[in-house]
């Protein structure tokens, strides 16, 4: 939609390192990886923030892909983190919803 970078990735107008794709969901490597595994899992549909989700069936589709990728990357047993930033206080930078799948190293808590 409009100038959205993740819509452009979904429409293949901008290149990304895509690791999973189906009719509704796309997953690609984060361009600024914060862990050995750092994948973004997005709906192809443009939804700006978590607050804008109307049909929550997309969240189970996204979660199914996240857990499948965690197994494929062999981080499911050791552990991984799933993050979704919503709006300014959380530091959301791209306003097309996405879950970060992070793994391959030990994580700190609380997050920054
Ligand atoms: P957030 O702060 O949750 O909105 O995170 C946005 C994420 O998108 C950041 O981790 C960026 O590194 C990542 N990102 C931005 N542009 C791209 C891109 N073209 N390809 C892959 N990841 C991107
Ligand atoms: Zn978008």
Q: Encode pLDDT of 62-105 as tens digits.
A: 999 999 999 999 999 999 999 999 999 999 999 999 999 999 99
Which of 88, 94, 99, 100 to mutate for ligand 1's pocket (most ligand atoms within 8 Å of CB)? 94
Active site residues: 98
Beta carbons of 49 and 95 less than 8 angstroms apart: yes
DSSP E strand boundaries for the chain: 18-21, 25-29, 37-43, 80-83, 99-103
User: Residue 112: what pLDDT?
Assistant: 85
Chain segment 13-28, per-residue pLDDT in tens: 999 999 999 999 999 9
CA-nearest of 81, 100, 105, 108 to 32 is 100
Mean pLDDT of 25-33: 98
């Amino acid at each position: 939609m409009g100038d959205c970078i993740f819509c452009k990735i979904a429409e293949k107008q901008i290149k990304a390192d895509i690791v999973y794709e189906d009719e509704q969901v796309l997953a690609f490597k984060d361009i600024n990886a914060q862990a050995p595994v750092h994948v973004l899992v997005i709906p192809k549909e443009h939804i700006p923030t978590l607050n804008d989700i109307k049909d929550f069936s997309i969240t189970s589709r996204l979660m199914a892909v996240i857990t499948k990728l965690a197994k494929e990357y062999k981080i499911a047993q050791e552990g991984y983190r799933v993050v979704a930033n919503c709006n300014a206080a959380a530091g959301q930078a791209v306003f097309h919803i996405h879950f970060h799948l992070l793994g391959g190293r030990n994580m700190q808590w609380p997050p920054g």
